[in-house]
Structure 1
Amino acid sequence: MSEKNKAILEAANAAIAEGNYEGFLSFCTDDTQWTFVGDRTLRGKEAVRQWMVMTYLEPPKFKVAHFIAEGDFVTAIGDITLKDEAGKAADYLYCDVWHFRGGQMVELKAFVIKTEGKDEISSTA
């Protein structure tokens, strides 16, 4: 089941990258719930559709560094670039935890951190 869910998420991500938001939404249940931890929760496919229209002014550019699949859950870790209303790109790191039900995405818990302007700290030994 976990490999099947991983393949579903990969296909959904491909739809997003192509700007096919309805194609992406076809992989979600009607009662899907998306929680952007520390920000907002979207309840239902229509709420997600409206959020996509406002947020994805053009298709996001993202790279998934790792997929971790177990049972009904798939976690995707990577980075994403979104453009704002002014056309300025902003970079983020993300960790999305997807819950699947019946071969569709029913819930998302997204941990998203803007990386632009953040200092990097390293240790020297």
Structure 2
Amino acid sequence: MSEINKAILQKANAAIIKGDNEGFLSYCTEDTKWVFIGDKTLEGKDAVRNYMATAYKEPPRFIVENLIAEGDFLTAVGTIKMENEQGQMVGYSYCDVWRFKDGKMAELKAFVIETKST
């Protein structure tokens, strides 16, 4: 199951890189829940779709440094660059903990920290 979940996340991430939000969402459950620790919680595919429509106007660029899988859980650690509300690219380090259910991404706990370039 661990390798299958890794493959699912890699396919979903490939969709995001191409700007295919619906392609990404096809890998999520209808009741998917995304918790951005210390920020907000999105409940359901429509809430995630609305978030992606604004946050991913310009497809994010990211590097997955590590994927660690155990049972129904998959942790992705890496860096991401996203356009902010002012149109500037901002870098972040992230740790996403995904829970899978029936072969789809059911829940995300995202720990995201803006990185300062020196």
TM bucket (normalised to shorter chain) is: over 0.9
C-alpha separation in 2, matches of 1:43 and 1:59: 22
> In structure 2, what is the equivalent of residue 122 of structure 1?
none
C-alpha separation in 1, matches of 2:112 and 2:20: 22
Question: Which is higher, the Rg of structure 1 or of structure 2?
Answer: 1
> In structure 2, what is the equivalent of residue 37 of structure 1?
37
1:3 counterpart letter in structure 2:
E
Of stretches 84-93 and 71-80 in structure 1, the one that deviates more from structure 2 is 84-93
CA contact (8 A) 1:97 1:109 kept: yes
> In structure 2, what is the equivalent of residue 48 of structure 1?
48
Give the unaligned 5+ runs of structure 1: 120-125
Q: TM-score when scaled to structure 1?
A: 0.92
Give the unaligned 5+ runs of structure 2: none
Q: CA deviation at 1:84?
A: 1.9
Percent identity over paired residues: 59
> In structure 2, what is the equivalent of residue 80 of structure 1?
80
> In structure 2, what is the equivalent of residue 116 of structure 1?
116
> In structure 1, what is the equivalent of residue 3 of structure 2?
3
Q: CA deviation at 1:85?
A: 3.2
Q: TM-score when scaled to structure 2?
A: 0.97
1:98 counterpart letter in structure 2:
W
Following TM superposition, the consecutive aligned residue runs of length 4 or more in structure 1 with deviations greater than 3 angstroms are none
Q: Over aligned residues, Cα RMSD in angstroms? A: 1.0
Q: CA deviation at 1:87?
A: 2.0
